């Protein structure tokens, strides 16, 4: 029986992680859930996110008997993993800013961390910088709007590179020598804007956690036993949102490209 993996995000940005998970684990049964009812998480309190994610994940595991969860949201991962792991017995993989690999890549010793305001502010993120980036300069931008711009792009809606440039203005205003030569995409939405960000910083290397997460999931699935499945249909990939009322119908094509025929509503 195939193992089941749930990839969860506040929005559809986590599809960038899902594609890597699927690439490294092609035989899994895939579930994707996004909490569009509460999107975006970047401006929500820690208590609200912890309570929300715990309720959604525990309810989903009971209903669909998944073997592993990927929290494909940097904001949620930096605050909810400990609570979630104490409540669930299955492996849970989080996504955190790729500070460590970025430090190994940078040549001018200037790393840019591009994330949500919540991720930039977290003690967890400060710890990553303290542990792995002592010898480099880390410039952080906490952008509240870039995730929404990425959702526009994925929905086929109009957006301009000027919108993105406005969010990255603190770095664009620097001289070339003062700009980061390595940029950490610290939100799973941001890889969907990789082309635009690269155009604004043509000499920078862009780093995200997707590939590492795909490999990590593969290793954990090999080492874990499959939990007992009590339902009949174990082979169908399914996508869920938390509010069909708020669902952008244009996203359906995006999900079909990723192997999901429709988007269902998941209610706690």
pLDDT recorded at residue 231: 59
Give which of 67, 71, 84, 6 is closest to 225, Cα–Cα: 67
Q: Alpha-carbon distance 129 to 80, whole Å?
A: 19
Task: Please indicate, yes or no, whether residues 203 and 107 belong to a single structural domain of this protein.
Answer: yes
Task: Please indicate, yes or no, whether residues 123 and 201 belong to a single structural domain of this protein.
Answer: yes
CATH number, domain of 58, equals: 3.40.50.1860
Write out pLDDT tens, residues 30-62. 999 999 999 988 888 999 999 999 999 999 999
Q: Alpha-carbon distance 195 to 69, whole Å?
A: 29
pLDDT recorded at residue 236: 85
> What pTM was estimated for this model as a whole?
0.89
Task: Please indicate, yes or no, whether residues 79 and 118 belong to a single structural domain of this protein.
Answer: no
pLDDT recorded at residue 78: 87
Task: Please indicate, yes or no, whether residues 201 and 72 belong to a single structural domain of this protein.
Answer: no
Q: Alpha-carbon distance 130 to 122, whole Å?
A: 13
Q: Alpha-carbon distance 208 to 187, whole Å?
A: 8
Say how many domains are in the chain: 2
Which range marks the domain in which residue 80 is found? 4-95+211-265
Residue ranges for the chain with pLDDT beneath 50: none
pLDDT recorded at residue 84: 96
SS3 255: helix
Structure tokens at 124: 């967890």
pLDDT recorded at residue 235: 75
pLDDT recorded at residue 226: 65
* Positions marked active-site: 73, 187
pLDDT recorded at residue 221: 96
Residues 6+ positions from 15 with CB-CB distance below 8 Å: 9, 32, 154, 192, 254, 255, 258
Q: Indicate the residue among 208, 226, 245 that finishes a domain.
A: 208
- Cα dihedral value 59, 12, 252, 258, nearest 10: -90
Task: Please indicate, yes or no, whether residues 64 and 117 belong to a single structural domain of this protein.
Answer: no
Task: Please indicate, yes or no, whether residues 135 and 188 belong to a single structural domain of this protein.
Answer: yes
């Amino acid at each position: 029986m195939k193992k089941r993996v749930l990839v969860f995000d506040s929005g559809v940005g986590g599809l960038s992680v899902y594609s890597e998970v699927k690439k490294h684990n092609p035989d899994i049964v895939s579930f994707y859930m996004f909490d569009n009812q509460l999107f975006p998480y970047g401006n929500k309190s820690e208590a609200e996110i912890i309570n929300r994610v715990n309720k959604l994940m525990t309810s989903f595991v009971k209903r669909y008997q998944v073997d592993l969860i990927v929290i494909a949201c940097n904001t949620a991962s930096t605050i909810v993993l400990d609570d979630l792991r104490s409540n669930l017995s299955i492996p849970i993989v989080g996504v955190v800013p790729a500070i460590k690999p970025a430090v190994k890549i940078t040549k001018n010793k200037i790393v840019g961390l591009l994330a949500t305001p919540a991720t930039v502010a977290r003690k967890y993120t400060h710890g990553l910088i303290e542990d792995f980036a002592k010898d480099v300069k880390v410039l952080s931008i906490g952008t509240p709007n870039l995730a929404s711009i990425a959702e526009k792009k994925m929905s086929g809606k109009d957006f301009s590179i000027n919108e993105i440039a406005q969010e990255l203005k603190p770095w664009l205003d620097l001289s070339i020598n003062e700009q980061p030569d390595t940029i950490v995409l610290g939100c799973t939405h941001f890889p969907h804007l990789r082309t635009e960000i690269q155009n604004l910083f043509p000499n920078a290397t862009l780093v995200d956690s997707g590939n590492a997460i795909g490999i990590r999931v593969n290793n954990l699935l090999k080492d874990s036993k499959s939990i007992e499945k009590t339902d009949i249909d174990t082979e169908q990939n399914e996508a869920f949102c938390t509010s069909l009322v708020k669902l952008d119908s244009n996203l359906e094509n995006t999900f079909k490209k990723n192997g999901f025929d429709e988007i269902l509503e998941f209610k706690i």
